[in-house]
Amino acid sequence: MSNCIAYELLKKGKTVLYQTAPVLLESVINFKLGKSENWGDNLVKSILDTDLLIIDDLGTETMNSMKLSELFTIINTRILNLNNKITKTIISTNLSINDIFNNYQDRIGSRIAGYYDIYYFFGDDLRLKKSK
């Protein structure tokens, strides 16, 4: 579903950044610690300013205080348009809303519960079906 939404927005000339939660958070931290120069000075700006940010597989990352802080900054900046631009974010996860509150503290959980539309998808895992 996220890929389809991204494709349609790209066709309309919008910017889209699609990344897994572990890679996204590690990239931001490595950049801020000076361990990665792959993105140049545009890494955080790109994450905060892209028209659509898709954070895939939230809950699969190893969490620590730095990652919690960066995740909060990303979500909060995009929700409140602190970047002076209307931006949208899709977060995919296998976590329940209770798991999100337990894993990411109230300040992240409350923003996800309060500002995001939550959709549950049911059915067989298509990746497993394809391998048969």
Whether 123 has a pLDDT exceeding 90, the answer reads: no
Sign, Cα dihedral of 62, 65, 71, 75: positive
* Other CB atoms within 10 Å distance of the CB of residue 2: 15
Per-residue pLDDT averaged across 40-62, rounded? Answer: 90
pTM over 0.85: yes
Q: Which domain range does residue 59 map to? A: 2-130
Which secondary-structure segment (H or E) carries 86? none
Residue 34, pLDDT above cutoff 70? yes
How many structural domains are present in the chain? Answer: 1
How confident is the model over 39-49, as pLDDT tens digits? 556 788 899 99
Q: What is the CATH number of the domain that holds 121?
A: 3.40.50.300
The C-alpha atoms of residue 27 and residue 105 are separated, in whole angstroms, by 22
Query: What would the mean pLDDT of 96-113 be, rounded to a whole number?
Result: 95
The pLDDT confidence band at residue 37, using thresholds 50, 70 and 90, is low
Task: Provide the token pair at 67.
Answer: 């990652």
- The conformation of residue 12, written as its DSSP 8-state character, comes to T
CA pair distance 87, 49, nearest whole angstrom: 7
Q: What is the pLDDT of residue 57?
A: 96
Mean pLDDT value across residues 67-85: 91
